[in-house]
């Protein structure tokens, strides 16, 4: 785990540098493990594995990739899902950059922020589609 990306109820995005030596225990205990807070994650399996390895249990997850598969989307990558549902094209240029090297670049920070910025809207659209199809 090198960077934790969080979008709150507003459009504020928090990028928590897990390699900076900061104590993230309170965040994981009060947010990640809180079942009343829905965590929207795209392709959650790797994130959940890392969180478990760190000693925490992520509760109440909405996985947008898994949902895209259940809704039979042709493409399930985050970029394609956001483009198809929200008509927003994401720049994925930093996806394979070195996320361990510090300091992170401005482009990496922007990439990390955009990765979580649209998840709530994607979730909402997916629920609408499922309701229309009566698959919920």
Q: Consecutive 10-residue runs of the chain (136 residues): their mean pLDDT?
A: 89 93 94 96 96 96 98 97 97 93 95 95 97 78
Instruction: Determine the Cα–Cα distance for residues 42 and 62; give it in Å rounded to an integer.
Output: 8
Q: What is the pLDDT of residue 3?
A: 93
Q: What is the pLDDT of residue 136?
A: 54
Please state the pTM of the whole predicted model: 0.91
C-alpha distance from residue 127 to each of 24, 34, 73, 116 (Å): 31, 22, 13, 18
Q: What is the pLDDT of residue 1?
A: 82
């Amino acid at each position: 785990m090198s960077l934790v990306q969080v979008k709150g109820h507003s459009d504020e995005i928090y990028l928590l540098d897990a390699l900076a030596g900061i104590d993230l225990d309170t965040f994981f205990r009060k947010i990640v493990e809180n079942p009343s807070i829905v965590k929207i994650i795209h392709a959650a399996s790797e994130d959940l594995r890392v969180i478990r390895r760190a000693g925490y249990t992520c509760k109440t997850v909405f996985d947008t990739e898994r949902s895209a598969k259940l809704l039979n989307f042709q493409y399930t990558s985050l970029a394609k899902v956001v483009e198809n549902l929200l008509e927003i094209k994401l720049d994925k240029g930093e996806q394979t950059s070195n996320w361990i090297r510090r300091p992170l670049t401005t482009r990496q920070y922007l990439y990390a922020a955009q990765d979580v910025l649209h998840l709530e809207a994607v979730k909402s659209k997916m629920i609408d589609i499922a309701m229309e199809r009566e698959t919920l």
